[in-house]
Amino acid sequence: MTPKIEILFSPNWTDYELLDSGDGQKLERFGPYNFARPEVQALWSKTLPSEIWQAAHAFFLPSGEESGGHWDFKKKVDEKWEMSYPLISSPSPLGGWAGVRELRFSVMTTPGRHLGVFPECAAHWDWLAEKIRKGGRPSAPPGNTVNVLNLFGYTGLATLAAAAAGAKVTHLDASKKSVTWARENQALSGLSEKPIRWIVDDALKFVEREARRGARYDGILLDPPKFGRGPKGEVWEIYKSLPEILQACRNILNERPLFVILTIYAVKLPAVHAYQALAEMMKGFGGSLECGELVTKEKSAGRLLSQAIYARWEAGST
């Protein structure tokens, strides 16, 4: 099957902008602050004048390690501040909220150059929220709760998008700090009453236990790192570990699942390889599969900056 390849970005951001990029860097606005970070894929020249770049609040200076380095602050930046994303929903035949549901979350500079949100992933938040609201669970009558598993869930924005749309969500990350951060974002978003189960665990071990317990999910999100360690030192290496966890995830899908999303960062792989890995996992389920890139779009020149590759599967109409 020839893959359907898409370029995804979200036009709905107000608190985030990719202001400019080039010469191996990107200039971004996160709420009230501008930050300059390395971006090796920005192979073109900067558009904005140097004085605008130099006026950034902070610059991330990389070290020799792959994700190491430190922030060089030129202006005062709060230790933590809030941002929001307008989760926009069209009318649904199943009812429920329509219009705008605001996700609120905290961000801050971290030693690993990130700030607690990956803005390009908003395209997935919009998509999965619509799938949950409009599709319901294909294997059950309309109105039944969609059961979603978010693996490598980080600070929880995909989890909150799914919960806001009406899903029951299990959120897992190996970092206790990230899960605590995600729970704080749940409160900021006014979603404290939503059914979210927070788990600190090794992803593969948890999925294998869920299979033994007979747990089943209608939707699964996987956003694995290139390399990582579980809470007890379990080693994750994406080239070795991804096929194993995809097979394990297949074992906990419902007979007629709703969606699966796979997002991969910081690897030298084309999107078609993610497509083929997910196609192998979903063989026999029918439905449709696409792959492509998650991008952010510059304000300065309109160029698209690729941030990650993805593949996602969805159920066919019933």
Tens of pLDDT, residues 244-253: 999 999 999 9
Mean pLDDT, rounded, for 43-62: 97
> What pLDDT, on the 0 to 100 scale, is given for residue 76?
97
102-114 per-position pLDDT tens digit? 999 999 999 889 9
Pick the CATH number of 4-314 from 3.10.50.40, 3.90.550.10, 3.40.50.150, 1.10.357.10: 3.40.50.150
| Residue 140 pLDDT grade (very low, low, confident, very high; cuts 50, 70, 90) | very low
Is pLDDT above 60 for 142? no
Contacts 24+ apart (CB under 8 A), 102-105: 102/189, 103/157, 103/160, 103/161, 103/164, 103/185, 103/189, 104/185, 104/188, 104/189, 104/190, 105/155, 105/156, 105/157, 105/160, 105/185, 105/188, 105/189
159-202 per-position pLDDT tens digit? 999 999 999 999 999 999 999 999 999 999 999 999 999 999 99
> What pLDDT, on the 0 to 100 scale, is given for residue 91?
63
Is pLDDT above 50 for 70? yes
Beta bridge partners of 253: 217
From residue 59, alpha-carbon distances to 9, 34, 53, 77, 113 in Å are 25, 9, 10, 12, 9
> What pLDDT, on the 0 to 100 scale, is given for residue 95?
55
- Mean residue pLDDT of the chain comes to 91
> The tokens of 170 are what?
């299990």
Tokens 């990130």 correspond to: 114
Domain coordinates of the chain in residue numbers?
4-314
Is pLDDT above 50 for 139? no
Q: What percent of the chain has pLDDT over 90?
A: 79
196-246 per-position pLDDT tens digit? 999 999 999 999 999 999 999 999 999 998 877 787 777 778 888 999 999
Is pLDDT above 80 for 138? no
> What pLDDT, on the 0 to 100 scale, is given for residue 31?
98
Q: Does the CA dihedral 230-234-237-243 come out positive or negative?
A: negative
Higher-confidence residue of 269 and 290: namely 290
The closest of 222, 191, 182 to 206, measured between CA atoms, is: 222
289-315 per-position pLDDT tens digit? 999 999 999 999 999 999 999 999 999
> What pLDDT, on the 0 to 100 scale, is given for residue 239?
84
Answer whether 31's CB lies under 8 Å from 104's CB: no
Mean pLDDT, rounded, for 143-152: 88
Is pLDDT above 50 for 141? no
Model's pTM, two decimal places? 0.92
Beta bridge partners of 197: 170
